[in-house]
Chains A and B, each alone.
Chain A
């Protein structure tokens, strides 16, 4: 494999993705900012006052890490699925498929694009959160590593969704019926310690719970789950999903006749 060529090609894909995100910033940057502002106003400010504190933090502080992580996850996923499926639909994916770069480069380039959008939106939501509550970072390395790993996991998942999608409806099914419910049930708005034991155990099967709680641990220093488990799960997901992407690309499933 020509490493120099693949580095240049990966940079090109990332640059293309950044240009795309900034070109359609009204669709990519503004909506999550508005949505999260509404979450902070309604759940944090209005309803949160009546809820009081959770795990020793006021409710606004408690939900802020979860909302930041939610925006990172949905935007990382959404960027890759819409960009890669758009390229498939418009057939300009062929520009990449005929070029001598490796399939890993195509995957890494798109995942990097998804991560960058996730981080950009996450940063924006953090700034919005600071208008509503005070946030200090308890464990900076945990914050950085968890947000990076989570956005990589969901960028890879978005890539797989785009590979299998045949029409635009197919790229909204997973976010609507899988991603959103899992995010809402992933402890963004509540601590699973509030649930009966059975539902606590069911919640532990939800991978997003680990991401939200690990990120909350990084910021607030409190978590419902073991941080070690969160890292293990995220790393396993990255390896499995990346291997899945490579397998699908090599077989040409969804991208070649």
Chain B
């Protein structure tokens, strides 16, 4: 029986398993729960099982076991209702490269039952939103890599799905287009669309997503709010560009310091210190800082730590 609570969940995955015909166990019983309206990141190294999980949800891959519900609709008993809720942007380009941009999106509208004036309005709306309207009569083959990605997003949105799944949507896309895609995704999420994103750009997940799950070797090794996950990081390393050269790294209470060249100072901050302490101590030593940056992406650091600790556990 579908409860109101279930209906609130955009995606509910229970004990999902997948073993391919070659014996590869891609998913070993994962559980995931994505609330309606969430912006959810699914991270993991290559071959971790992300694309398999997304393939099962979008019914492109047969599952071996477990249960998947999309807005309360089981993919086993109400597949068509579940499919109607989903828009999918796959990792690899799967466009008919000889079809025109306009026809690709219009055909997708038709596959979801949209026709006539409504279909035309939606096609124009999303091609304009993704800045492809001027290319509507060109064949997909003539588009650049970034444009093909944007076309796949327009195609996935034309039926205005409640759940949008993007499998590495910004892979191979230049920074400017990536940033504009982020802005676009933020807007549609704010308008109510639940978004699940897999990405290799951890900065992307940190910037966009409110929840994060990390999958490795077919199991979920972390599933929490982004803020809670980032809070787990005990230490952060900053790189300070100095106005003047230093001959040796200064000793600072509560911080580890190391010189990187004559004008760059690396500072590791412990959990009990804050950056105000750092600047007070630097001012006292007459060391002027011209700029500051985070050495490593925090999420990337956590990701590596989690994956490595799991590998160590496996070795023991």
Contacts and interface: CB of A to CB of B under 8 A. Distances in A.
B83 A99 contact: yes
Contacts of B58: 98
B97 A9 contact: no
Interface residues of B, number: 34
A257 B22 CA distance: 11
A90 B97 contact: yes
Interface in A227-257: 252, 256-257
B113 A9 contact: yes
Interface stretch (A11-19, A40-48, A51-59, A145-153): A11-19
A35 to B, nearest CB: 25
Given A95-B94, A98-B83, A5 B112 contact: yes
A9 B96 contact: no
B60 A94 contact: yes
Contacts of B292: none
A105 B97 CA distance: 23
Contacts of A2: 80, 113
Interface in B55-76: 55, 58-62
Contacts, number: 88
A98 B62 contact: no
Contact of B113 (A5, A87, A98, A257): A5
Nearest to B84: A100
Contact of B112 (A15, A97, A100): A100
A23 B113 contact: no
Interface on chain A toward B: helix, strand, loop, or mixed SS?
Answer: helix
Nearest to B114: A8
Interface in A207-228: none
A90 B94 contact: yes
B50 interface: no
Interface in A67-102: 87, 90-92, 94-102
A4 interface: yes
B241 interface: no
A1 interface: yes
A12 B107 contact: yes
B81 to A, nearest CB: 7
Contacts of B55: 257
Contacts of B60: 94, 97-98, 256-257
B92 interface: yes
B115 A8 contact: yes
16 contacts: A5-B112, A9-B113, A11-B110, A12-B110, A16-B99, A16-B103, A16-B107, A90-B97, A91-B90, A94-B88, A95-B108, A98-B88, A100-B80, A256-B59, A257-B20, A257-B52
4 nearest A-B residue pairs (beta carbon): A12-B110, A5-B113, A99-B111, A91-B94
Interface of B: 20, 52, 55, 58-62, 79-81, 83-84, 86, 88, 90, 92, 94-99, 103-104, 107-108, 110-115, 155
Given A100-B83, A257-B62, 18 more contacts: A11-B110, A12-B107, A12-B110, A16-B103, A19-B103, A23-B98, A90-B95, A92-B94, A94-B88, A94-B94, A95-B96, A95-B155, A97-B59, A99-B108, A99-B111, A100-B84, A100-B113, A257-B52
